[in-house]
Each structure stands twice: as C-alpha cells, then as structure tokens.
Structure 1
Amino acid sequence: MKKILNRSFLIVLALSLIVLFARAQGPGTYKIVPERPTPGQDIEITYDATGTPLSNKKKVTAVLYSYQNYKWYAEDINLVNTGNVWKTHYKIPEKAGIIALKFQADTLTDNNNNQGYFSMFMDKTRQGVQAPGAYAGWGLARSPKYGMDIPGYIKFKGVSDSATYHWLNQEISFNQSAKSDLVYPYALALNATFKNDAGPRLQRVLNYLKRPEASENDLLNARKILLRLVQDKVTADSVDKVMLQKFPKGSLARLAAFKKMPVGSDVNALLNANKQFVQDFPEEGSNAEFNTENRMSYPGIYQNIVVLSTYGTHNYEELNKYIDKVPFSVLPTVYYKVVEIQFGKNGMSDAELLPVSELILKRMEYLRANRPEEFAYLSPKEWVNYVNEIITRPMYMHVHLLNSAGRYKEALAYGNLAKQYLGYTRAALNAERANTLKELNQQVELRTLLEKSVFENQSSPEMMEMLKASYVKRTGTDKGYDKYLNGLKNNADGLKMVEEIKKEIINKPMIDFAMQDLNGKMVKLQDLKGKTVVFDFWATWCVPCKASFPGMKLAVDKYAKDPNVVFYFVDTEETIADYKAEIAKYIKEKKYGFNVLFDNKAPNAKATGETFDQICKAFSISGIPQKIIVDANGNVRFITVGFKGSATELADEISTMVELTKAAK
C-alpha cells in the first residue's frame, strides 16, 4: 500500500511540475498542439515572433533537438508564416521523450532568453507518466556541469543539484532500463544533494552495479563511483579484478596495453605499436567515455598511423588502409602533416601530392554528407557549415595542386567554396583563385578578386602584377594607376594598423655582432650606424620564413633607392653541412637578390645561431621568422614574429615600422 501511495504521489508531483514547465516556455511565443502528445504522434508547432529578437523577420527557421535513447539529435525545421506567426507540422520520433527548439533568422537566435523552448511527451501506455527520456532530458538539458546537455543551445549556469537529482530519480523510477545509461550522473547528483548522508544511497547504487550479471559498463561505472565519489580504492581494486576476469579483452586490458605503448623518436617503433594496438583492441565496441577519460584517443592513434607511415617517405599504403577510420576531428591535422608540410619537401611534386590531397578531402566530404554520431547535436545544416568552415582553411593547397595539374574547373569549384566562408581574407587562397580565373579567362571575376584582395590587403606580388596589367589593358596606359590602386585600399584599416604598430615601439640597444655575407664579407653592427636596418632571421627548413619572402621583397624593392635603409636576411639555426651553398642556390633561383648573412656557430653547438641566441636572451623572444628593425643609432625599435600569410600586408607592416623608426627620437 505504501508503494502505491508513493507512486501516486510521484505522479501528482510530476504533473504539477509539468504545469510549471509549460508556463516557463514564454506565454504565447511557443506552443504545440496537442499539448500532451505521445511519441510517434503528429504535432503542430507554433512560434509567434512578436516581441522576440526575430520579430518581423522575412524568414525564420528552427533547429529541433529530440532526446532519443538518452542522447540529443538535431534536425533542421522549415516554418511557414502568417504575418509574425510561424508554424510547421512535425512527427515526434518513436524514441523521443522531449524536444527543444531554437528559432533563427539571419544571424539572430531566439532560445527563450537562454531558458530554452521545451516540450515533454506522455507515455503511450502508462497514464500520467512521461515518455522515456522526458524527465532526464528536462533535467540534464539545464544541468550543463553534468556534460549531458545540448552543446551550444543555452547559456545557463544550471539548476540545483537537487533538481537534477529529482528529474534523474524520476526517470529511473519510471524507466528501470535507464539505470545503466544514467547511473553516473544520477550518482553525482545524489552525492551533491545528500552530501554526508549520501553514503547509504550510493551503496545501494553500487550493489546494483556490482550484481553478478552486471555488464562491463556497469562495472566501469561502479569503479568510477568508488574512486571519485566514495574514494574507496580497495573496493575499486576488487572490481578491477572481477572485470579483468570476466572481460579479459575489455577496457582495463585495453588501458594496460595503451600504457605500455612506447614513446620517443623511433618512428618505426611508434608506428608498429599503434598498428598493433588497434589490431589487438579495435575501437568498435569499446567504451568511448572510458577511452576519453583515460586519454585513449583512437582518433590520435589513427592519426599517428597515417602520419608516421608517411614520415620521410612517399609511401601512402597505410593512409589508404586507414583513411576510412580516421574521424573528422583529426583530419585537418592529418592534411596539414601529410600534405601541407610535405609540400616542396623530400622531392615531393605537385603531381604526387594531388592524389593524397584528394584522398583526405574525399574523406572529409564523405563525413560532411554523413554526419558522425558524435556530432548528432548539430543539425544537418549546422554540420555542413561546420565542416566547410574547417576544410576551407587549407583549401588553397588543394586549389594549387589542381591548378598545377591543369584541372582549373575543379580548382574553381573548390576555390569558390572556400570564398563563401573566407571571403577575400586569405592571401594564399586569393593567389590561387587568381591563377584559376586567369587560366579560365574569367576576366570580370578576376578583376573583382584582385580589387577586393587589395582592399583586404591580402595579395601577392603576382596578383599586383595582374592588377596593373588589367588596368593597362582597360585604359591603354599606366598613367593614373597609383591613384587607382590607392583608391582600392581600405584606408581605415591602414590607419588602424599604423596606430597598433606605434604601440609596439621600443628603444633598446641591439646586440653587437660580426657575420659573413654570401660573398664572405664580414658585416658588423658598427658598420651600419646611420642607417635604418631591417633584420629578417630565417632558416632553410622554416616554411613560414620562406613564405614571407615575397612580401619582404616588396619591402626591399620599395626602399631600393633609399641608401639609408638596408635589409639583411640572417640565416640561423642550420645543422646541415652545405647550407651556405643551398642558400646561395635558392636565392639565385628565386631571383630575390637579398643581402644574406650567416649566423655563427657557438663553440660545441650543433647548429648555427650564436647571434640569434644572444638576441633571444636579450629581448626575451624565440622562434623564426623574426624581423627586427634597428634605428640609425643601433637601437632596436620593433620586433615582429611569424607571418600572417599576406605579402602586401607584410610589406605594409615593415614599411610602417621603417618609417616610424626613421622618425623616432
């Protein structure tokens, strides 16, 4: 009789809370008909935008999240309007216990002021009881610290632990099959709610998890509760023994094998260990949560295999074998290490890199069309946008490889996709798109690209030549070109750049040095007194260093007739024996005509870098490329590190620093 009364009380309490839940949605803004549907039923969703951030918008859409089998799944919803009221019909999934919606227009979102728009559903067969998942979804969606809310849906500190405990307790009370899925967040909420009195209740949870027929996941949860909440390592160790006996190839054995994997610089040993691990312990069927908690990253393992197997070789057998297992989370890194870093290295030609680039991009495109389960909280449209935003970042490389192969129409398609997300803000992409459009003789589009790239200050020297040629062809003369070019520039951004650079000015003596140039002539700091000097510290192995050279050449050319401004490109941190000959050949082939200095090797050092090391210590800097501007008195005025990617932007920055240095007192 007592059980019946308790159950009746719970039902009445749940119904009263549902009434409060319904009132929390915002009066008149959001509703469903019928108000208390069951899974599988058709409902009408109404959204009245009056008084919301989306009021009077021409087009409103929605993302709907359904909580199915204790996981959130997102989908895109189209709405039809009558004035400011938007509606749609929706069939509730059979396994859904609750839905949540956010409404969108342009860049605006209405999520009920970070309270969410929710609807809970009734059970089909049990009167007065919510459908499986309703209680848990309602509680966890508003308890972000439990990690089972809807990522990015609402910014919410969270309800109290006692409220979370109540809703999870409701879920488990009415749906016993939810125990294994929700036991750990339930234990967390229980422990936080009852504090010092939680012990007996946690023990009852542990008794259930350690029952003779317990699954491995149950025992893993018992182990976690014992270690994190009860802090009983002795009992946790006894659970470990049971697990190892019942599941000899299970999670604990997996973790032990993972911890034995070698570390270090032996590429073959690392590669073989990673391959052996996934052979002995396949990812399929493993406990993803346990893997993550113990830093057993299968994405990282697959990345290791495909990257290590190509290290210093042209062998892509493992890449072809494992590419279908590589998850999206590491594909950008794989592309960077296997394609971008290899570009121009180890004798790799564009023709050899193109099929590798295509293979990785095809994997990305497949996943874009087939949203992985771990990204179910993103709607299909959100997922496609997310993927495109990521894969467009290195797209310049693939466009380059396609251009090199003469596949210009394909290059155009990829370039246009990247432009949708990046606009004209990436010089490398702009340069490749310019080559594509030039080859396809799309002159109108090319001119637009060149002009907008100038406005964004994201151009290459070759693009500037194209722009001038286009101007001369249109006008029949180069007269007025400088005025035309200046009219294209974003003067506001230019002034902002100058003001930002002014903030970086310093005044500290430059380290004294004596270094040889390409001709064996010794150059000393004291020889440069009276001149403004730009030092560019670089190395043959430094990709961004050499990538910045076209921009530096623009700056060098600008001051070619100014005897009071000189540039020195200081090669440093070299270990190979014939680096001087390699540099002389490189400078000649690229027709840079730079003044090159060779950093000295300190006693007992493995690499050159005596001068640069002293500068790093004196100015608390590190890494190359590193530009240092020194005034006529031998004092450092500016230091800038790295390369942002735009030749024209770099040239403007260096020119601004030079002019500010010349004017400094």
Structure 2
Amino acid sequence: MLPDVCSAAKPTPMKKIVQQPILFFIALSLSIGTAFAQLPTNFRIIPERANPGQNIEIVYDATGTVLNNKKNVTAVVYAYRNYKWYASDLSLKGTSNVWKALYEVPTDCGIIAVKFKADTLIDNNKDQGYFTMFLDKDRAGVMAKGAYAGWGLARSPKYGMDIPGYIKFEGVNDSATYHWLNQEISFNQSAKSILVYPYALATKATFKNDAGPRLQRVLNYLKRPDASEEDLLNARRILLRILQDKTTADSVDKVMLQRFPKGGLARLNAFKAMPIGSDMDLLLQTNRKFITDFPEQSANEEFARENRISYPTIYQNIIVLGAYADKDYADLDKYIDKIPFSSLPTLYYKIVEIPFSRKEVSEKKLLPVSEKLIKRIELLRTTRPDEYAYLSPSEWVKYVNESIAKRILPVHAHLLNTAGRYKEALIYANQSKSLLGYTSATLNAELANALSHLGDKTSLKILLEKSVFENQSSPEMLAMLKDTYIKKTGNEKGYDQYLNSLKNNAGGLKMTEEIKKEMFSKPMVDFAMEDLNGKTVKLQDLKGKTVVFDFWATWCVPCKASFPGMKLAVDKYAKDPNVVFYFVDTEERSADYKAEVTKYIKDNKYNFNVLFDNKAKDAKATGEVFERICRAFNISGIPQKIIVDTNGNARFITVGFKGSATELADEISTMVDVVKTSK
C-alpha cells in the first residue's frame, strides 16, 4: 500500500479513530499547529458535522468585519472536488447583520472555502479563509475524500494547488502540508498519483537531508513494472527537480520511450526538435506535423504545461501562419473549437487587429473572421472552461467582459459599422461602454458612427458631450458636435464657448501640473535634413521658434494613428509664426519610402511639414539623426515627440499614443504653451 511507500509515519490507525470521538481527531490535527477546530465565530454551518451530498445552511455574521452593515452581501463557495477547486455563486438572505443560505454539498466534495463580498469589498477572514471540512459518510471518524489535501494545499500557496486569489499569505509550514497530504494519501489511495509530487516536495522540505529514504520508497512505487506513464513522469519529475539525479532520470526516460513510444517524453523530444526562425512555410509545416503525430487528447496535461508544450500556441501558430501563407482562414475553421479563452485575445490581435490596423486585409474579409472569434468567446462566456473553475460563474462572465472590452469589441464594432450593420455594431459597442464608460476615444468613435447612422440624435449628443468631458474624442466627433450645435442655434456663434464649457477643467489643470513635472532642459541634437521638396532644414534655422518634432515611420501603426490628434494641434497654431511642427520620417528600409510618405500625406490631406531622416554610412535603414537623439536622451521607439524651445533646448519628450486625438492635442498644446511662457 502507498502509505508504506509515501509516508514518513503511519496514519492514525482506522481502528483507533473509530473508537475515539471526532474531537480526538481534531485535537490531533491541532497538535501540528493548525486552527481548524477553532472556526471563526462569525462563520458556521448547520449541521456542524456534515457529509458530502448533504444540504447545509451557511451562516455568516458580518458584525465587526469589513462588510459590517453592508447591503446585498453575496458569497462565492469554493468546493474541493476530486482534488480541484470549483467556485460557485451563492445568494444570501439577511436580517440585521446575519446572512444565511442553503447549500448542497457536492457528493465528491471534501472541503469548502467561502468568500463573502459586497460591492468591491471582500471578507475572507483576513486572508485566513473561511473553511469547513466534511466527514466521510461511509467511514466513521474519517474526513471525506479531498478534505485533508484541500485543507493543507489551500493554505500552502507555494505548492501551486491553492485557490487562486482567495487568500494571500506565506502559508503554513511544510511539515503541516506534509501531514495533511500524508493523511489524504493514507486514507484515499486513489489520490497517490495525483498528489505524489506535492507530497514529495513537502517530504523534502520537511525532512531535508533525511528525506532520501522516504523519497526512495516513493520512487520505488512510481517505477514499479506495471507503472502507468503518469507515474513514470512523476518519478522523472521528482528525480530531476527534487533530487537532481539526472542519471536515474535518464534510465526512467529509456523505459518510457520503450513502453510509450508516442507518450509524453517522445512528445517533448519532438517539440524541442521543432525549428524556430523566420521561414514561415517550414514553421507551418512542422507545427501541423506535430499536431498530427502527437494530438492533444493523448497528452499529459501537467507534463505538457511544465515543459511548456502549449497546444493553444501551436494551434495559434498554424492559424496565423496559414492566414499569411495561404491567404485564407481555413485553419481557423479547423481549430477554433480547440482554442481556449486564454489564447483568444492574442489570436484576435494577430489575425484581426494587426491586419486591420495595418490595412493589410480588407475590412470586408476581416469581418467574418472577427465574427467567428467573437462567437467562440461568447460560447465560452456561457460555459465556463474547466481551467477557470476557480472563478464563480458571475466572476467568469465579468472576467471575459473585461478582457474584450477595450480592444476586441471596438474593433468588431468598427467592422460591423463599415459593413453598414449599425444595430449590431451598437450592441457590441454598448457592451464595451458598460465597462469603459466614455473613457476610450476608439470606442466613442464607433458609438458615434452607429448612433449617427441610426438617427439617435439624443444619445449621440450625450455621447459627444461626455466624450469631450473625458477628453476622448476624434476630429470627426468634434465635427459632429459642431454640426449639431449649428443646427440647433442656426450658426456657429458661441460654439467655442460651448465647447470649452463641456471640458473637464479639473482634468485640464491636473494635466498641466503633471506635464510641468516632466519638464527639463537639454540642448537638442544638431541636424540637417531634407523636407518633401528637397529643401534642407537645419536646427540652427529654427532658433527663436518653439518647435514640435514628431518622429514616425510609414510602418508604425500608432505613429499614424496619432496624426489626427497632431493635426488638431497643428491647426491650433497655424496662425502662430513662432510655433512650428516637423514630422520626421525615420527608420525606413524600402527604396521608395519618400514616394510612399508623400502619397500618404497627400491622400490624408495632412498639412504637415515632413523631414526625411538621413541614412548613416553603410546603414540599411534611415535613422541617423534619430539614433543620435536616442543616445543623447536615452530614449527608444516611435512615435516620439520632442518639444524644443526658442534657444534650441529640448524641454519635453512624450512617447507612444494613448488613443485619443483630443487628449493628444491638448497634451501637445499644453507642452507648447508651457515652453512658450517659461524662461
């Protein structure tokens, strides 16, 4: 029996437990430093000694807790079933500060933990947890299957089998964890293969240099002639990670390769042999072959995860590479039902968002791809995947919605808007808005587009005004707002005052104060670059002016996305001869980049002064000036905007683009105005 293999000490004999009252077992448990018998006074169950499959009443008294006198208290119950935690929502009914609910204990549950919450407040017994173990209904004096392990592992986070996010503390000592795992395996032999690795870890941590004989007995069991592949993989894991015995591990490897030629180790060897590099055809071919030779359904999940054999990544590689190589999405149809939720946002980014932002694939062709991914997300939202079992159904839905609100839903709404499906676009945009409010310029633009085409003037006006308040508008939205104002008043008189009245003055003042903190003074790097007309512009020619430099490239998506906001800033100072803007095209590799830049500026009707960065000697790309600037100011990446004062000193540097045209315009304008008024 495994207790003779995995135990340092025999479990308390069954006969003795049966003859003694339950309190003796609890007292024994307390002797190793736990506080299981001393349940918190504000949490209890009725009956106190329950069995799996039984209906119980959970009673919670919020007096003295963070939920004291709170309304609408709810709970999440974590049930430890077959050595895994499963969360469920629990509705409570309360009078005064006491909240109660009936709960049916699952038949395969050994222990539960409970979390109480109201709004954003959570009571988990001050990070100690509210736990209760259940008695085995068929074995007197013994806890139900999973009770011992759940109680030990839930409070031992370093073993990686606790409840994610439930309690946050260093955990009980290793000897306590060892005790509870030993009890579990002793009384429930079916757990030995599942828990053998954390048991071995706890054994080593508890007995240290004296753990050898105990671990050897474990290995003898795992390496027995009729051992399963799972047992041999566990033996290999213990040898390599705990004992650092590579020689014996190699001997186990030979046995596994002989007995399981398509097993986990062969799978790992094939995975490691897969090539890396930029040959997309070769990568696509080898990923497809791996899936054929080693299908996911036959994989040992724990072994694959530990060795970073990620089937979702392989499916994603095939879909993405296939889309680029074959110019279709056949692989998406083939594998989409295998893609877990954790991989869907990344997959959406790679096959929808990137080609959409770069205009590499038409919006018409991207829409059905986006719809398939959205449909998969919606399906998983209604059926929580097992990998997220630690989230309750309501927590799971919230997690999904938050994961797709900022990037995925606005892009999908845009594709629907482009297709003229405005009602559907509004539905998805509103899903995002329920979480983001009016804080995303990208989302606000899609909402405005849909509402405008649907003729909902009232909702559109509210949207436009609130977007201005949040400083999350686009030039098109500002044009809509102005048009609405003119239609109402008959002319544009007073529009500027109306627009300013909508702005969040407190937010503007805060932006100014934050920007002033970033101000510095350092001589700008000298340069001489040509503009669109071939005229050379030098830094010394700009003395006496406040200059805004915007470093960008034709291949840089956020660079070009920021241009509508930059145009607002350019237009604001169009009549000020002492403020000039230069858009410095840099880091270009193509031979005809100047023609591409000229066409892009003309097609988009940007009134920009463009400068072309120089190519350094023997360099493959332009960037001679920008590279010197990066070294001088310790910066990197584009878009980079540098504001230079009348004396040729750089005063501000801002990188990236946050997504709002009006926010960017205000940021640049504030910097310019601060520089103009500073000494």
TM (normalized to structure 2)?
0.95
Of 372, 377, 389, which residue of structure 2 is paired with 1:364?
377
Cross-structure match for 1:16: 27
Give the Cα–Cα distance (whole angstroms) in 2 for the partners of residues 10 and 490 of structure 1.
70
Cross-structure match for 1:508: 522
Of 282, 294, 307, which residue of structure 2 is paired with 1:269?
282
Give the Cα–Cα distance (whole angstroms) in 2 for the partners of residues 230 and 587 of structure 1.
65
Of 248, 259, 262, which residue of structure 2 is paired with 1:246?
259
Give the Cα–Cα distance (whole angstroms) in 2 for the partners of residues 5 and 441 of structure 1.
76
CA-CA distance at 1:470 after TM superposition: 2.1
Whether the aligned pair in 2 keeps the contact of 1:34 and 1:43 (CA below 8 Å) is yes
Whether the aligned pair in 1 keeps the contact of 2:26 and 2:37 (CA below 8 Å) is no
CA-CA distance at 1:481 after TM superposition: 2.6
The answer on 1:626 being equivalent to 2:637 is no
CA-CA distance at 1:231 after TM superposition: 2.1
Cross-structure match for 2:246: 233
Whether the aligned pair in 2 keeps the contact of 1:15 and 1:128 (CA below 8 Å) is no
Whether the aligned pair in 1 keeps the contact of 2:11 and 2:183 (CA below 8 Å) is no
How many positions carry a matched residue from both structures? 663
Instruction: List gaps (5 residues or longer) in structure 1.
Output: none
CA-CA distance at 1:485 after TM superposition: 2.1
Mark the CA change 1:218 to 1:10 in structure 2 (over 3 Å): closer, same or farther: farther
Other structure's SS at 1:90 match: strand
CA-CA distance at 1:344 after TM superposition: 5.5
CA-CA distance at 1:505 after TM superposition: 1.6
Cross-structure match for 2:205: 192
Cross-structure match for 1:482: 496
Counterpart amino acid of 1:505?
Answer: M
Other structure's SS at 1:198 match: helix
The answer on 1:379 being equivalent to 2:392 is yes
CA-CA distance at 1:7 after TM superposition: 4.1
Whether the aligned pair in 1 keeps the contact of 2:280 and 2:325 (CA below 8 Å) is no
Cross-structure match for 2:347: 334
Other structure's SS at 1:186 match: helix
Mark the CA change 1:546 to 1:17 in structure 2 (over 3 Å): closer, same or farther: farther
Mark the CA change 1:3 to 1:572 in structure 2 (over 3 Å): closer, same or farther: closer
The answer on 1:81 being equivalent to 2:89 is no
Give the Cα–Cα distance (whole angstroms) in 2 for the partners of residues 24 and 410 of structure 1.
55
Counterpart amino acid of 1:499?
Answer: E
Other structure's SS at 2:76 match: strand
Other structure's SS at 2:324 match: coil
Mark the CA change 1:217 to 1:312 in structure 2 (over 3 Å): closer, same or farther: closer
The answer on 1:539 being equivalent to 2:550 is no
Mark the CA change 1:313 to 1:586 in structure 2 (over 3 Å): closer, same or farther: farther
Counterpart amino acid of 1:135?
Answer: Y
Other structure's SS at 1:342 match: helix
Give the Cα–Cα distance (whole angstroms) in 1 for the partners of residues 289 and 422 of structure 2.
42
Misfit runs of 4+, over 6 Å: 2-5
Give the Cα–Cα distance (whole angstroms) in 2 for the partners of residues 40 and 293 of structure 1.
35
Please give the per-residue CA displacement for 1:312-339, whole angstroms capped at 9, x wherever unaligned. 6631111221111111112111111111
TM (normalized to structure 1)?
0.97
Please give the per-residue CA displacement for 1:392-434, whole angstroms capped at 9, x wherever unaligned. 1222111111001111111111011001111111111111111
CA-CA distance at 1:456 after TM superposition: 1.4
The answer on 1:279 being equivalent to 2:292 is yes
Q: Which moved more, 1:611-620 or 1:144-153?
A: 611-620
The answer on 1:494 being equivalent to 2:508 is yes
Counterparts of 1:43-192 in structure 2, within 5 Å, are 43-192=56-205
Give the Cα–Cα distance (whole angstroms) in 1 for the partners of residues 203 and 244 of structure 2.
15
Give the Cα–Cα distance (whole angstroms) in 2 for the partners of residues 509 and 290 of structure 1.
57
CA-CA distance at 1:166 after TM superposition: 0.7
Of 609, 612, 616, which residue of structure 2 is paired with 1:598?
612
Mark the CA change 1:444 to 1:17 in structure 2 (over 3 Å): closer, same or farther: farther
Other structure's SS at 1:533 match: strand
CA-CA distance at 1:251 after TM superposition: 0.7
Give the Cα–Cα distance (whole angstroms) in 2 for the partners of residues 21 and 123 of structure 1.
21
The answer on 1:403 being equivalent to 2:414 is no
Cross-structure match for 1:607: 621
Of 565, 568, 573, which residue of structure 2 is paired with 1:559?
573
Cross-structure match for 1:616: 630
CA-CA distance at 1:482 after TM superposition: 2.5
The answer on 1:465 being equivalent to 2:479 is yes
Cross-structure match for 2:273: 260
The answer on 1:575 being equivalent to 2:589 is yes
Identical-residue share of aligned pairs (%)? 70
Q: Which moved more, 1:2-11 or 1:59-68?
A: 2-11
Counterpart amino acid of 1:277?
Answer: F
Of 214, 225, 228, which residue of structure 1 is paired with 2:227?
214
Other structure's SS at 1:46 match: strand
Give the Cα–Cα distance (whole angstroms) in 2 for the partners of residues 23 and 125 of structure 1.
22
Q: Which moved more, 1:509-518 or 1:250-259?
A: 509-518
- What is the root-mean-square deviation in Å for CA atoms of aligned residues? 1.7
Whether the aligned pair in 1 keeps the contact of 2:43 and 2:130 (CA below 8 Å) is yes
Cross-structure match for 1:353: 366
CA-CA distance at 1:491 after TM superposition: 2.0
Please give the per-residue CA displacement for 1:33-89, whole angstroms capped at 9, x wherever unaligned. 111111111111111222222222221111111000000001111112223222111
Please give the per-residue CA displacement for 1:282-305, whole angstroms capped at 9, x wherever unaligned. 111312221122121112111111
CA-CA distance at 1:184 after TM superposition: 0.6
CA-CA distance at 1:245 after TM superposition: 1.0
Whether the aligned pair in 2 keeps the contact of 1:144 and 1:157 (CA below 8 Å) is yes
Give the Cα–Cα distance (whole angstroms) in 2 for the partners of residues 619 and 76 of structure 1.
53
Whether the aligned pair in 1 keeps the contact of 2:11 and 2:186 (CA below 8 Å) is no
Whether the aligned pair in 2 keeps the contact of 1:25 and 1:112 (CA below 8 Å) is no
Counterpart amino acid of 1:52?
Answer: T
Q: Which moved more, 1:511-520 or 1:341-350?
A: 341-350
Give the Cα–Cα distance (whole angstroms) in 2 for the partners of residues 134 and 476 of structure 1.
75
Other structure's SS at 2:298 match: coil
Please give the per-residue CA displacement for 1:578-616, whole angstroms capped at 9, x wherever unaligned. 222222221112111111111122222111111111111
Mark the CA change 1:8 to 1:455 in structure 2 (over 3 Å): closer, same or farther: farther
Give the Cα–Cα distance (whole angstroms) in 1 for the partners of residues 199 and 481 of structure 2.
65
Please give the per-residue CA displacement for 1:193-212, whole angstroms capped at 9, x wherever unaligned. 11111111111111111111
Please give the per-residue CA displacement for 1:127-147, whole angstroms capped at 9, x wherever unaligned. 010000000000100000000
